[in-house]
Amino acid sequence: MTENRPSVSLVLVLAISFFSASGCAENTSRVGNPQLRELLFDSIMTLTANREAFSPIKNLHWGIDPLDAMENYRHEVISADTEEKLFYALEKVSNARNDRHLEISLVENGIRLQESSGIAGGSEIVYSSPVKILPDYSDSSIYFISDLSGDQEHFLRGTVEPGDRILAVNNLQMEQYEELVRPYHPSSYRPNFRWRMAEDLTVKTATLPPTFYQDHLTLELERNDGSSYTVQLPYLHPDSIPWQNISEPQYPGFKLEHSTATYDLYLPMEGQRTVILTWYGFRETMIPDVDELMTMAQQNDWLDFNIIIDGTRSRGGSAGAYAMQRFTSIPFKTTFGNLRISDVVPIFTREKRDEVNEGGSLDSGVPEAMDDGTWLMDWLDTDVADSVSSRATYSNSVPFKLAHAPKDSDGILQPAIHHFRGKMVAFFVPRRGSHLDQFASIIKDNSIGHIIGMTAGGYSNTWEWEETIKFPGTDQPVVQFMWDIGHTIRPNGEILEGNPALPDELLQLTRKNFDIYYQELVRKAMEYLNG
């Protein structure tokens, strides 16, 4: 890492001195002036150097020093003389750290954008063209049509076929387009970047500057026979597009039995003793949904069945270990986590204490721990407080968020009283990560099951910290900025961020197999389970 960066206190002293001498702190506009923007940039760099929980293994994957990468945008921030330019310059600064969890948000009285759809603090309505795109993971240069509207009136000119290759986007060659949009996409792991960029290519959001868009989306495409054509596609309200769902999950030999917000349960139509769970996330109603599953399993004699967990559509959360205790007979080590010791830790501790006093530590409004928050506060008030006093760089590592075990635990969790006793297979792709990556690493590092497919998204940290940044020396807010303030530690002892669990059996999603990808996953899973 780059050394000898200014301290927070030094930046503040410089800011105060500047404003005392110039008197220009008054009547500051949302975009400031070059001097203010340079002070803002310096303060972000200083806070990042002091707060960020850097992942050396991720930085090796990308081949960068994140602080040096951020520094590359200094001039762009200083010269950003409009709100739009400043927002996107700061977006690049934030994304230079290559962290999927981190984003900048619009705040009250801060930067305003004429178009703000799809970004935090902006409009939620995102208009979409009537096609979907995926990357071909057998070739880093190939992206292709993976789904399209069933309404032919949505295609203004030309016809589009599933599997057709993307050659150019709005007259930019695909390789050039990817290079230009890369700084606007936060991504901890390259395969996840390709997936998210492909998904976002067909929607119109404020993630990219308005100059990237036209009134319609123009794609140059290549058919399987090598011939090329151009098509113009409108941007439509997402609810108006009847997708054909060509690349959505299909499980030959299984039928849908039960659905919850957490999973869809599929049972075999023929004599197989295997269930499939299409998994959707690890928060909100996950615990009661899993409890309902286990009640059904007991009543219907499914506990001896094998279990296939399809995590290709899953979001994150924090309660994965609770589910795992009911999906395996094997005791397992859970993930761990730590805290980067910085100026935010005392404030973070106070906020967590307030949460606990009001009913427990929360994740998106629901409790994320199996106790009442005592385990977390015991750690924050003792070990973490001692780390602050001793000026340590990081705290000790403890079971993840103290959600399932206290700080002195070895993190080994036992199966629940009622649990599945058969073999386990899991499917993952680089679409999403966070707690899903933790779930995958628990399976992999504890040899609980057999992973088929690809890696998950490759991003996970313990906690993030966000605050409204202001021009130093003023009360003028700019944007909400975020920092990753803790490592997630895999059961094997490695930092997880940018370091996903590898599959036991690689099956890449490609232009040739995308429409039968799930059939292939199921076929390989049944071969493993029956073998």
Question: In terms of domains, do 105 and 63 share one?
Answer: yes
CA-CA distance, 234 to 236, in Å (whole number)? 6
| Mean pLDDT for the chain overall | 92
Question: In terms of domains, do 174 and 194 share one?
Answer: yes
CA dist list (Å): 436 to 310, 321, 332, 335, 467: 11, 11, 16, 12, 26
pTM: 0.92
CA dist list (Å): 176 to 169, 170, 172, 190: 9, 11, 6, 17
**Counted domains in the chain:** 4
Question: In terms of domains, do 34 and 105 share one?
Answer: yes
Judge whether 28 lies within some domain: yes
Judge whether 407 lies within some domain: no
Question: In terms of domains, do 449 and 328 share one?
Answer: yes
Q: Is the pLDDT of residue 2 over 50?
A: no
**CATH number, domain containing residue 96:** 3.30.750
Question: In terms of domains, do 136 and 236 share one?
Answer: yes
Question: In terms of domains, do 421 and 322 share one?
Answer: yes
- Give residue 153's pLDDT: 81
Q: Which domain, by its residues, includes 177? A: 129-240
Judge whether 90 lies within some domain: yes
The confidence band for 369, taking pLDDT boundaries of 50, 70 and 90, is confident
Question: In terms of domains, do 219 and 208 share one?
Answer: yes
pLDDT in tens, 289-337: 999 999 999 999 999 999 999 999 999 999 999 999 999 999 999 999 9
- Give residue 365's pLDDT: 64
Question: In terms of domains, do 351 and 223 share one?
Answer: no
CA-CA distance, 309 to 453, in Å (whole number)? 12
Average pLDDT (444-472) is 97
CA dist list (Å): 367 to 261, 290, 345, 488: 17, 15, 21, 19
Question: In terms of domains, do 145 and 199 share one?
Answer: yes
Please, are residues 292 and 278 in contact by the beta-carbon 8 Å criterion?
no
User: What angle separates helix 34-51 from helix 83-95, to the nearest 10 degrees?
Assistant: 20
Judge whether 402 lies within some domain: no
Q: Is the pLDDT of residue 417 over 70?
A: yes
- Give residue 22's pLDDT: 43
Question: In terms of domains, do 281 and 218 share one?
Answer: no
CA dist list (Å): 311 to 133, 306, 339, 347, 435: 20, 16, 28, 35, 11
How many CA atoms are closer than 13 Å to the CA of 9, on its beta-carbon side?
1
The answer to which of 13-27, 224-238, 363-377 has the lowest mean pLDDT is: 13-27
pLDDT in tens, 124-166: 889 999 999 999 999 999 999 999 998 888 875 557 999 999 9
Question: In terms of domains, do 328 and 428 share one?
Answer: yes
Judge whether 248 lies within some domain: no
Q: Is the pLDDT of residue 4 over 50?
A: no
pLDDT in tens, 251-291: 999 999 999 999 999 999 988 899 999 999 998 899 999 99
**CATH number, domain containing residue 443:** 3.90.226.10
